[in-house]
Amino acid sequence: MNEIQSSNCCSDCGNDQLEQIANVIDLYQAKPSNLIQILHASQQIYGYLPLDVQEFIAQKMNISVSEVSGVVTFYSFFSTKPRGEHTILVCMGTACYVRGGKKLVEGLQKILGINLGETTQDGKFTLEIARCIGACGLAPAMMIDKVVYKSVNPNKLESILSKY
């Protein structure tokens, strides 16, 4: 397993996780055109994509860390920080914003004690915004994991969160 872990890469990564990521890279034949798929799989394995994991991927694919990092930071579905057990997405599309989306964000920030893009200390929730989640007719809306909550108002937030 020493061949998987370099001396200065992934000091916090487990060898099992590195081996799984290396296997994914091998399955995709380390082709740069498969970088997004490799990053998706790596995030599933590790939970997020810290710099150490990005460096490991770059090294195994023989591409620059800046190329890997550029893709990770460009797409919103990749995270460089640990994420919560549940991801809360508040819709901030036009209909949701006009009908109170901002108040939902403010209410969640107050209840959870975190800002956008952060995770609660207990690791339970990560709070983010989305441009549109497709529930415009019943705005404002939010999602927790894959469950959509429609016609939400700040008074409903604690009740919704208690389910998790």
Residue 74 identity (one-letter amino acid): F
| pLDDT for 12 | 57
Confidence (pLDDT) at 77: 82
pLDDT digits (tens, 9 = 90+) for 12-21: 567 899 999 9
For the chain, the structural domain boundaries read 15-74, 86-162
Identify residue 149 by its one-letter amino acid code: Y
* Residues with Cβ within 8 Å of residue 89, at least 6 apart in sequence: 128, 129, 130, 133, 142, 143, 144
Query: How far is residue 142's CA from residue 72's CA, in Å, rounded to a whole number?
Result: 24
Residues of the chain with pLDDT under 70: 1-13
Cβ atoms of 108 and 121 within 8 Å: the answer is no
**φ, ψ for residue 87, nearest 5 deg:** -105, 125
What's domain 86-162's superfamily in CATH? Glutaredoxin (3.40.30.10)
